[in-house]
A and B are shown apart, each in its own frame.
Chain A
Amino acid sequence: MRWRIPRRPVAAVALLALAAAGCSGEADSSTDGATAPVSATAAYGDTFIDSLLGNISSLIPTITSDSASHEVGNQIYSGLITFDKDLNPVGDLAESWEFSRDCRDLTFRLRPGVKWHDGRPFTADDVVFTWQTIVDAKTPSPYKSEYALVESVRAEGPGVVRVHYSQPFAKALTNWATAMLPKHLLETYVREGRIREAPQNWSAPVGTGPYRFKELRSGEKVVLVSNPDYWEGRPYISRIVYRIIPSQATTFLELKARGVDATTLTALQYSRQTEYRAFQRAYTKFRHPGNGYTYLGFNLRDPRFADRRVRQAFAYAINKREVIDGVRVGLAREATGPYKPGTWAYTDKVKTYPYDMDKARRLLAEAGWTHRNEDGLLVRDGKPFTFELLTNQGNDERKKVAEIVQAQLRELGVGVEIRTLEWAAFLKEHIKKRNFEAIVLGWGIGIDPDQYVVWHSSQTGPDQLNHISYKNPEVDRLLEAGRTTCVREERVKYYHQLQQVLAEDLPLVFLYFSDALPVVSSRVYGIDPGPNGIRYRSNKWFVPQPLQRYTAG
């Protein structure tokens, strides 16, 4: 069956709008996508219609943790620093920064002349206020702990901010990418513990970012317009409309009908459902490593899994390529450790476990699993090697991973029973209580390579994240060293070593990093994909004049 992307009446509608409302700007309904020869000169104008899967939960990013709110928040607000294509920190509201010798003082020099959307100047006092807001006990911010080591933040003159840490903290710089908040508007609300009730949180957010807030219709759309006073100059695209569409299938149909300009594809959509010419003409597909990996984890308190040879045997017995092909249609990268390929902390010089059943059998035999019973299962001390593999409902990928693991371990002589559970129950009854044998789960990874909370032996308490109960003094040492220096070269050394130790000791079987698969209308130019994805610096995206589709007031 061939799909046709009809020219939707949208363009015509936009023309009508031009006639009726007398808007400035131009919409060309006669050009069909990128087929017309176009010189890619940057031009102002057009509307970009983006899609969000979830509703916005608030418009002050400091108190939200959902991705939809942050995506919109990133356009309205900006931080002191931001990240470039390769995830290196670059100045945003700060022009430059400097660490003291002992890594405990961090001094920012602010960019002069930056204005809030309401015209008031952005100053060092706003930076101090932002910090005070986050750490204020009455502010419901999920990011408080990130600032636990900050002893003081002081304005030293209108353009200089000095942050003092109680001990060297490697993530210090990264945390200052947080959205800066306007003191003159929010101060009383924060002081009274009513930040959620401030108009800036829902109906009138004010930031320093490239786009200004125009309108929000709950569950329907958010409209932003370009900020003519943005410090880097007015963004090219005049207007962004975020449509909220809770179903991924519907978003995909809207994409085909050109009702939205961008979304994220699933692996199947990327490889099977978009490979026809009309789609390729209308959209550009991107592929870059995503921000998380999927793993097979063990409860290391279980004596069977505490034996490293058993874990290594499993790693040899699981054909990662097959997992990636079966689950992600090949759209993922094999994980060798907990760091994303292509970033500065990553190294590929680690022990790998290519698929090798014989080696797996030998390792299990060394661990004492030699005999098989009549079902073909390995037996030791009269007990067959079987375990329960848990994963959460609502994630088909993980369920499929579990099924492939089940089949491949069965070949090895290990019986696996799969159970899927609702997320909240899974977390509360099994993960937190350490009441599991093995799990298929994923870890999201942040920009900074510090993974102290995941691997350190001090983090095995019931509410902490080392739920596999991993304890390795060498790993502890490297984690501590890596997070207490601000010198990049030293950190690279520690994290490379950390990956080598983890790959050898294998506390869990690292499976794969999924690729993120964004798709954007081909009339949008200036997108440069990298480890940081495609969304960074979207203020420099533009639509050449002849391709513009909507008038923007």
Chain B
Amino acid sequence: MFDLEAAIRGWKRGLTNSPVLEDGYREELEAHLRDKIADLVGQGIKPEDAFREAVAAMGGSEKIDSEFFKAHTTKRHGRPSWQPPWFMPALFWSYLKTAWRTIRRQRSYALVTIAGLSIGISLFLFFFRLYDWARSVDTFHHDVDRIHCVVQRFASANGGEDHLAFVPTLLPSALKDEIPEVEDTTHFYQPGRIIVASGEHSFFENHVLCVDPNFLSFFDFPLLAGDRKALFDKPNSVVLIRSLAEKYFGREQPLGKSLTLNNQLDVVVSGVVMDWSELPSASSITFSMLVSLEAAKGLFHLADNWTVHNQTAFIRTAENSDPAALSEKLDTFVKKHYPGGAETRSPRKIYFMPIRQIYYFAPQVRKYDSSNFMGYSIFLGMGTLFLFLVCMNYINLATARAIDRAREISLRKIVGANRKQLIRQFLCESVLISFFALPPSFLAYKLISTALIARLGVSWDCSLWSRTSSVLALGLVPLITGLLSGIYPAFVLSSFRPIQVLKSQAAKKSRRRIQKIMVISQFAFCSIFTVLGFVWLKQTRYIYRADLGYDRTDVLAIPLSEETNSKLVLLQERFKNNADVVAVSASNWLPGRWRTRMNVTPASQIENLGWTMYAYGVDYGFFDLLRMNIRRGRSFSRTFEKTDSFVVNAAAASLFGWQEPVGKSINVGDKNGRIIGIVDDFQFDNVHYPMGPAVFYQEKDNLSFILVRALLPESQGRLIEALRKSWSAIVPDIPFEYISLNDHFEEVYFSETKLASEVISGIGAVAIFLSCLGLLALASYSIRTRMKEISIRKVLGASSSGIFGMLGWDFLKYVLLSDFIALPIAYFVSRQILKSSYTVRTSVDAGILLLTAFLTFLAAVTAVAVQVQKAAVVNPADSLRHE
């Protein structure tokens, strides 16, 4: 039942605080209130509602105060001097001052907090920037959402489908002519490595694209020199990126200068574009040189046809058209241009995939280039987790120091601060501290980015100021970190009861439970990070030593070019004569990420569509050189081979399903021949993939590398010089370069895993360090509050070592508990990640978990030992007298 009189009494009590309400004023307002209520009730409104309405109309005492001020001032729009401006909370300056004093008074604590925060913030910002950069891939092209890559679907070896982003030369123009929704197209061909010569300098260049003349008007790579519309008007034109232009011409003006490609074709530089490391966002298409497709046709024997799928094609759809709705039109298109149907090696379907999607999110499509977005997300996730950890650390330190501030808080309360104001004050303080962490985090950002960018192998403009999102993050991250880490201490600190505090009984019990939870979860995080770091380290080593079916140590690869092909036998002979050389062979690519594929069909089964398999072109002696084990039959041999013959691996042999595969006849691409041997399974492609079926054929015309196995690793330097000498004696025009197979392997594959393990274990180490600081703070706090207890225990006969054990156990049990919680999680998570990303993978064993537990424990012991020791040896008389 609503009691009007009681409600009015309550309301009146609420007004008592206001100093302006002099004698009689409150009564007058009460009379007013009663009149209004009587009126409203007279209108048929319930007393309760009438009361509420009347009170609301009256406004609080603060409103009355400010109106009172207005009625008595000569300023017309004056803000009462005791009210803060609208943009600042009350007492803002006082809070700032107090915060600054607190920081100065507790320097070492502030230093720890600020250091932690700045590491956390900078790490987060870096991973955020990296994520943002990767996320915004290709956005510098206008209408990037309308650009799609053309993908064809083929039947594959295992009855599934292969998605290929490679099309025949004639397809793009046909698409543009026949499908009105396709507004424009462009396409390019990746020729692989070519020799580029300027005067007497010549180099191999890897990132060359042969492009349609409209390539640079279709895409918006920023042009530094040249006329965008007329770049490829003359067929023998090339466009270079800036760094390549500097490599060949130094500081001279590159436009109009000539270069020679593959010692055959003279071309003229018609433009210079920006390096990809300077682009405003990441680019999925990277190149160092663009050659007009017209000119490249002669160079690489390209022909206009519908049968060779080797071009990457992009289309721009017309505005407001839906590429997904084109599938019917594309089906008729396929029927028209590939009349053979599914039996021939024609695509079943064509579809368009948005360019931004195909780069990261289409692992099923084989394409011009790809990258894995997962890594960036995982890094961002780790950055976020670490930031949380740092927040927790702040919370721990702040609550541990709370007792020191109890008096200040009590005094504030006594002179009239309410809880809301105090909470605001402490939030202000934590935000301020996290903004203090901003300048050092710039420094840390600089360090982190220079250290990591070199390792990541990406070059990009990592400045925080060049993108709106990162500038925004720069303001928001410290703010949110401050609020997040400040909110709990603010509630704890503001809850002190002045009377108890001033009687010197700090509130103890409830708060410590939360602190324990904090310590436990902090250490749990650390353990998880550490386990992940160890697992990755182990995985890196494991892959490094894993048996991939061949031996890549002490093997040098020397790139060949077309001109050297005629002299290949001679070169190999000369190389073999060197005393430091064990074996010489050649191949058309290198193990690491070798993924050429061909269609393979057993010759007897005409109906069978066959399989798409790895197909590797190699020279004599390849298997011996890489120490691959021939299981049955023999390898290629100079004495026997008259016709085409093939070596298959065990996986392929079992796929054919023959009892005795050796001697059976198969078709590989357009070659027909017998299987002469079976080699053990191996992995030349990405180690993430399972070892697939593969076939080796003899390559004669298109070998790209001479492989040389050195006798001893120590003699390599001498060997290289000798090889260079024999090389330049035979083919003086061609640059001599070499790479060790091991380096190549590390470069193409290994670097990311290694990097991941380094980053994770680095974060783990910093996390453990910070958590130990948190534990240290907790220990010192807790021991101070228990000093009396310890002294009494000693008086009653407890020994120093007994107390040491008791206190130590008190803290360390939390660390143990956190290990109990974290290790199973870490075990599960790391196994899951390994499972999802590697086929050749190590196991997560008990050793790693135990080592992690031991390390965290050791770190924790070191952190608390000093504090506990101090407490254990204290003279009870001193502390009891002090108390």
A and B: interacting chains: no
Question: B residues engaging A (CB < 8 A)?
Answer: none
Question: A residues engaging B (CB < 8 A)?
Answer: none
